[in-house]
Amino acid sequence: MLNGWDTFFIMTGTAAATLTGLLFVVITLCVRLSTTRAAHGVHAFVTPTLVHFGGVLFQSLALVVPWPSAWPLGIILGLAGLTGLVYVIVVVRILRKLDFVSLDLRDWVAYAGAPALANVSLVAGAAGLIAGDSFAPYAIAGAITLLLFLGIHDAWDLTLWIVRNQDLK
C-alpha cells in the first residue's frame, strides 16, 4: 500500500532532521534570555516546535521500515497520533498560563488547531492502513506535511519573537 512513497518519507524525515538542527541555532539566540521572563515564553513555544519536527522524523523513519504487514506500522502511527492529540492539550494548558504575551487566533491555530488536525489525520491514516483503505497513505502524508510546515511556521514565528523581545525582563 505504501509502495512508491519511500522518497516522500525520506525527504520529509531529512527535512525534519535538518530543521531540528537549525532550531538549535535559534535556541542559541536565547542564551541572553535565560534569566528573563522571556525564557519561559521561549520554552513554551520551542518545545512544541521540536515535538513537530521530532514527530515528522519518527513517523518518516517508521514509514520506510520494510514491515511484514501494515498492522505494526498502523499501531505505531495510531499511537503517535493519539500521543500528539494529548500533547496538544498540554500545549494549550501551557499557553493559557503565559501572562506576558497576548496570543491571537493565528497563534491558537498554529499551536493547537492545526496540530490537532494533523494528529487526527494521522490516526485516521493509521486506521486506514490497518484496514487496507486506499486513502491511508494520503492521510498519513498530509499529517506529516502539515506537521512539518507547522514546525517551519512556529520556528520562524519564534525567531521573530526572540529578535523583537530581546530586552524583555
- Please check whether residue 52 is in contact with residue 150, taking contact to mean a CB–CB distance below 8 angstroms: yes
pLDDT at 76: 97
124-155 residues labelled b (16+ CB within 10 A) or e (exposed) = bbbbbbbeeeeebbebbbbbbbbbbebbbbbb
Q: What letter would DSSP give residue 4?
A: T
Choose between 6 and 123: higher pLDDT: 123
In a domain, 169, yes or no: no
CA angle 4, 76, 65 (to 5 degrees): 40
Quote the pLDDT of residue 118.
Answer: 97
Enter the C-alpha cell of residue 169.
525582563
More confident residue, 24 or 119: 119
Structural domain total, the chain: 1
| Assigned domain for 155 exists | yes
* pLDDT at residue number 71: 94
5 compared with 104, residue with greater pLDDT: 104
CB 147 within 8 A of CB 12: no
Q: Is residue 26 part of a domain?
A: yes
Taking only the tens place, the pLDDT of each residue in 26-62 is 677 665 655 566 666 677 788 898 899 899 999 999 9
pLDDT in tens, 92-150: 998 888 766 778 898 899 999 999 999 999 999 999 999 999 999 999 999 999 999 99
Determine, yes or no, domain membership for 1: no
Q: Do residues 12 and 148 touch, judged by C-beta distance below 8 A? A: yes
91 within domain boundaries: yes
Q: Which residue in 139, 119, 118, 117 sits closest to 130, CA to CA? A: 139
Give the confidence band of 77 by pLDDT, cuts at 50, 70, 90: very high
Calpha distance 10→16 (Å, rounded): 10
* Domain extent for 19: 6-164
pTM recorded for the entire structure: 0.85
